[in-house]
Structure 1
Amino acid sequence: MNINTSNEKASSKPKMLWQLFISMFTLSAFTFGGGFVIVSLMKKKFVEELKWFDEDEMLDITAISQSSPGPIPINASVIIGYRMAGVLGSIIGIIGTTLPPMIIISIVAIFYKQFCANKTIAIALQVMRAGVAAVIFDVVLNLAKNVCKTKKVLYIGLMIISFIAVWFFDISAMLIIFTCLIIGIINALTDTIKAKHLKSDTTKRGAK
């Protein structure tokens, strides 16, 4: 029984790694407009289609990927890969994510002058920006909805204040992310302390 279960896990792992590679490769190959675009596509792929994560976990992955140094797609592929298959999964995820840009940019670099002089390509890239803007707007709406679903005043308030700080006062996004991180840590520690006090009070009442 145990041998069969272990054999099934061993046989399913290569399939899962292949699925991870193909998913990352495809998402990276057809994503234009920056890291925020791929976030929406990752959500549809890994949450809705493959059901590897739930929406809350994907939101956490997005937040960590955005706040960590480096490109968002690479950071996300490391976390998703590690979550599914450890270090090997992270390596597979990184390879799948980095291969398409390397191939495409290499081709563009070789024919750079031809691309710059081609008016058709220039127009196509300008039109593509409209689609990219729509996808990014969709990502923002989904993230905002997930924050509002928590029904926590602190989270919703931080979201609104952060938007005002960026839009109206042009404050650095990194400063805002770091500030929210500090507030989040303090909030988590406060909740932990409250939970411990509540547990100790309950234990004392039960002893009486």
Structure 2
Amino acid sequence: MHSWKTVFWLFGVNFYISMFTFGGGYIVIPMIRKIFVQQKQLFTEAELLEMAAIAQSSPGAIAVNLSVLAGRRTFGIAGAWISGFGAVLPSFLILALISSCYDAFRTQPLINACLKGMEAGVAALIVQLVADMSAAIFRQKQKLPHVILPVTFLCAFVLEIPAMTLLLFWCCVSLGISVIQHGKGSRV
């Protein structure tokens, strides 16, 4: 049976990791590796990589998913809940503080100008990401990725077909092509 000391440690370490890591879920992996694998030896690096793959493929934030999985591995279902709460609480508190002061900050000309600049910066990053991803798609030798981008854009913005419908359609098309290719490969 684990002690209350373990419960508080698990909450505290996940709170700490969440509070002081910026840059997304992939930044959390080295922190969890350092604390859970190297210092406490609660699981192996292979187990951490397995958990990271599961956290990445599961819905939700990678950092929270990985914290929950590390907590479960350490302290069972109760550890998953404790770790999840510890990982989410800092973001919740920061957003609550910012929300309560947002109107006061928003009316300040300097803060308003900074927020407008941040909007422009985020828009530029999104455009760069789309351009880089598009270039990578068009470098591929397969024909389907060349079709998906323009057809999806046309369907979403011109025909106003919902994104979920398009996603499900392309999943079915990709699955169908994979089944056909697998069938051809097994006959050879």
User: TM-score per shorter chain, which class?
Assistant: 0.5 to 0.7
The answer as to 2:66 corresponding to 1:97 is no
1:60 and 2:28 correspond: no
Query: Of 24, 33, 48, which aligns to 2:14?
Result: 24
Identity across the alignment (%): 33
Contact kept, 8 Å, 1:77 with 1:93, in 2: the verdict is: yes
Cα distance, 1:76 vs structure 2: 1.1
Q: Any residues of structure 2 matched to 1:166-205 within 5 Å, and which?
A: 168-169=136-137
For structure 1, the residue ranges without an aligned partner over 5 or more in a row are 1-9, 127-164, 180-208
Show the counterpart of 1:111: 101
Query: 2: distance between equivalents of 1:83 and 1:62?
Result: 13
Separation in 2, partners of 1:167, 1:21 = 43
1:7 aligned partner: none
Is the alpha carbon distance of 1:57 and 1:34 closer, same or farther for their aligned partners in structure 2, counting shifts above 3 Å?
same
Q: What RMSD in Å do the two structures reach over aligned CA positions? A: 3.6
Describe the superposition over 1:76-130 as per-residue Cα deviations: whole angstroms up to 9, x where unpaired: 12211111111111111111111111000101111224555556xx59xx8xxxx
Q: Equivalent of 2:76, from 64, 82, 86?
A: 86
Give the TM-score normalised by structure 1: 0.51
Q: Read off the aligned partner of 1:56 and give its amino acid letter.
A: A
Matched with 1:130 is none
TM-superposition CA deviations, 1:33-71 (whole Å, max 9, x none): 221222222222212222212211111111110011111
> Counterpart in 1 of 2:23?
33
Deviant stretches of 4+, over 6 Å: none
TM-score by length of 2: 0.56
Alignment of 1:104-183 (within 5 A): 104-115=94-105, 117=108, 118=110, 168-169=136-137
Partner Cα separation in structure 1 for residue 135 and residue 40 of structure 2? 36
Pair 166,51 (structure 1): closer, same or farther in 2 beyond 3 Å: farther
For residues 135 and 71 of structure 2, what CA distance do their matches in structure 1 show? 34
Return 5+ residue gaps in structure 2 as ranges. Answer: 119-132, 139-144, 149-170, 176-188
